[in-house]
Structures are given as C-alpha cells and as structure tokens.
Amino acid sequence: MTIILNAKEIKSCVEFNHVLIPIIEDAFKSLALGKTTMPPVLRLDIEKYHGESDVKAAYIEGLDSYAIKVASGFFNNQKLGLPSSNGLMLLLDSKTGILKSVLLDKGYLTDVRTAIAGAIAAKHLSNPDSSTVGIIGAGIQAKMQLEALLLVRNIKSAYVWSRDFEKTKTFVENLKGKINIKINVCKSPEETVNSSEILITTTPSKSAIIKSEWLKKGLHITAMGSDAELKNELDPKIIKECDIYIPDSQSQTSILGELNHAIKAGLISAEKKYNDLGSIIINPNLGRRNNNDVTVADLTGTGVQDTAIARYTFKISEEKGLGLKID
C-alpha cells in the first residue's frame, strides 16, 4: 500500500522548529561515518527560464526506508506570483523497493531541511555569543535561514542585502512583527559583512558576491546558494584564506559548491581532504578553535537530509492517520 500526502498534510506533520535539528544532525553524522549510500546529484538546467531540477537520494544503513527527491528552483517565478521552489519526495522500502509514500510537499521539505542545515552549521561553527547576522538574498531561503538561526543563536540584529533594493525593503517589511529582532536594509554586500558576526549567502549567483578582503576575525559564513557547477557566491580566495572550511559533503562541494571554484582557480588542491559537517557534529574539537577563527560552511544539500526529513514526515503522518491510501 502506498500513502500519498499532500502539502497541507505534510506541513501539519513538520513544524519548522528545534525538533528537526537532531534529526538532520543524525543524517550528517551517518554521512561522516560512512554509513550512507549517496549517489551524485542529477541536475537538469532549464536556462531559458532560469530554472533547474535536481534529483537527490540516499540510503542510510540499517533504516527500513530511503528517499528519492525531485526539487526544482525557477528563479523568475516571483515575477509570476509563484514560489521559486517546488518538488516532491518518494519514500521507498529498503528491503523491497516498494513505494511506501509519495510526499507532495511542493518543495517545503527541501526548504525546511536546507534552513535547518544552516542552523546546524552556525550552531557548531559560529561563536556562541554571536548576536548579529548578515543575509545575502531576499528570497524564501533568506527568510527561513534567518528563522532557523534564531533556534540556535541569540540574534539581536539582522542586516540584509540583495541585488534588488526594492525587493530587499519589502522582505524586511514583511518580517517586521514576525521576528522580534531589529532588521536593517544594507546598501552593499560589504556593508552587510562589516555589520555581521554570522553571514548567510542564499542566492543563485554565478559570480562572487563576497570578497576575501572583507573577511574579519571571528566571522562565520554559511554559503548555501552554490549548489550547481556555475553558481558562486564567495571569492574563491576565501576558501583558501579562512581558518576552517567545512563542506556538507566534499564529494559534492568539490563539483558543485564554493570549493569547486577554489579548485578551478588553482587555489586548493583537488586532493586536499576536509572534515565535513557530520565530523564536526561528532567531534566539535575539529571545528572552531578560538573566537578569532574565520569559518566557512559550504552547503550544497545532501540526499541524507532528504531521507531523514521524509522518514520523519511519514512517521508523524502514520501517527496522525493522514494521507490517501492506494493499493
């Protein structure tokens, strides 16, 4: 029997809160411990419409189900009054491959697990007393990354910049009254960096926005926009010059992430090995060593995150008796 869950049912099962943090942390730990089978990302670019579709999957050893996820990002959609992200997840039985559930989440679960991963990176790599954050971008991930960060850090002020100044002002206005912190519109990315102890980049940019000369002691950067070969938000020198570089999956970031651009520029050897985020969660001593370290988390989004959140969603849906059952 297959259970089909619609977006409304899924949102009733998965609230965007701290409960999700250990679920995604466990997924990263499984990846670091080599207990995961995770194929390379399959991506289809639709350049004419500034869009892409990705297929991600992962099996975590010992679990009775695994997920295959299709996610789309069409970045002109806002002009059409449509969300930029969409997609669905399939949950299959690990022993038989039988389809257990179709999760018609419209990209919600991808957005949530991506934002929670950002919070996890900040939790384990930023200075614990960080109180200011800079956000590059003004889309759905900018909003969700900020909300997720508030789960792990006592943020008092946020500074936001995007290429579209009017969009940035609207973004800030929409957040006022919903988030109990001071939110400021910045006129440049440099101003955003200078004002912040944590910096989160959330754009589909294909050219570096953040320059290496802007780095300052103690800064933590979570770069989550570069999830395709041509995407690039950070000056590649940053990967070389930072004190601690942490990929979510180096096999991915060396092809899709910010590390990819540093390798192509000849700044980093393709043979160099880094501790990934799961390793830092397992052993915090591998992460930030002091308050002055500049740390960078390079997040390209992994299939283990999708399997973890799909399984959690399905579990809660069973407890609630939700979904359309089909033989």
* pTM, rounded to two decimals: 0.95
Among the listed residues 73, 100, 110, 70, the one whose alpha carbon sits nearest the alpha carbon of residue 88: 70
Q: What is the radius of gyration, based on Cα positions, of the chain? A: 19
Measured CA distances, 37 to 66, 138, 252, 305 (Å): 10, 34, 14, 13
**Residue tagged 């103690």 (tokens):** 218
Q: Cβ(39)–Cβ(57) under 8 Å?
A: yes
Q: What does the alpha-carbon distance between residue 191 and residue 214 come to, in Å, rounded to a whole number?
A: 9
pLDDT score at 227: 84
For the chain, give the mean pLDDT. Answer: 96
pLDDT digits (tens, 9 = 90+) for 253-302: 999 999 999 999 999 999 999 999 999 999 999 999 999 999 999 999 99
Return the CATH superfamily for domain 2-109+304-326: ornithine cyclodeaminase, domain 1 (3.30.1780.10)
Beta-carbon contacts of 118 under 8 Å, excluding residues fewer than 6 positions away, are 145, 148, 149, 200, 222, 224, 297, 299
Q: Where are the domains of the chain?
A: 2-109+304-326, 119-301
Does 79 score more than 90 pLDDT? Answer: no
CATH number of 119-301: 3.40.50.720
The percent of residues above 90 in pLDDT, for the chain, comes to 90
Domains 2-109+304-326 and 119-301 are alike in CATH topology: no
Taking residues 46-63, what's their average pLDDT? 95
**Residue tagged 């001593």 (tokens):** 285
